[in-house]
């Protein structure tokens, strides 16, 4: 807690940079639908892959060591508004201990999953 209190702004800046990097990598893929603002204020990237169930994609990524969550994320009203109430979405949360390379690797792996 002391570390976060002392380095909060650095942590927010790093998470924002990682979030922007992952969003940019995913936005370049035509089969990816991104949700949320282009410049989010929190380290969360929510998305779906066309023709893929969010839970199935999350399971594949989790088996490959990329921790994501899928579903309604305690926000069914938001998903109803987005039109994803039946499918939910995949949520990736870049954090302090993630790297830019991991964001690139995640986007690359998702591109490969789309080709499979």
Cα–Cα distance between 75 and 25 in angstroms, integer? 26
The C-alpha angle 86, 81, 44, rounded to 5 degrees, equals 85
Sheet holding 69-71, edge to edge: 32-35, 45-49, 89-92, 69-71
Beta bridge partners of 71: 89
Instruction: Count CB-CB contacts under 10 A for residue 23.
Output: 24
Q: Which of 1, 39, 74, 77 is catalytic?
A: 74
25 is catalytic: no
Single out the residue of 73, 91, 97 nearest to residue 18, CA to CA.
97
Residues that are catalytic: 74
């Amino acid at each position: 807690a002391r570390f976060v209190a002392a380095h909060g702004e650095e942590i927010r800046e790093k998470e924002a940079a990682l979030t922007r990097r992952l969003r940019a990598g995913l936005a370049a893929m035509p089969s990816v639908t991104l949700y949320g603002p282009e410049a989010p204020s929190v380290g969360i990237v929510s998305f779906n892959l066309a023709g893929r169930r969010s839970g199935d994609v999350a399971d594949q990524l989790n088996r490959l060591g990329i921790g994501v969550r899928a579903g309604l994320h305690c926000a069914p009203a938001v998903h109803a508004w987005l039109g994803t109430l039946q499918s939910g979405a995949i949520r990736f949360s870049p954090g302090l201990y993630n790297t830019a390379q991991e964001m690139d690797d995640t986007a690359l792996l998702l591109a490969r999953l789309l080709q499979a």
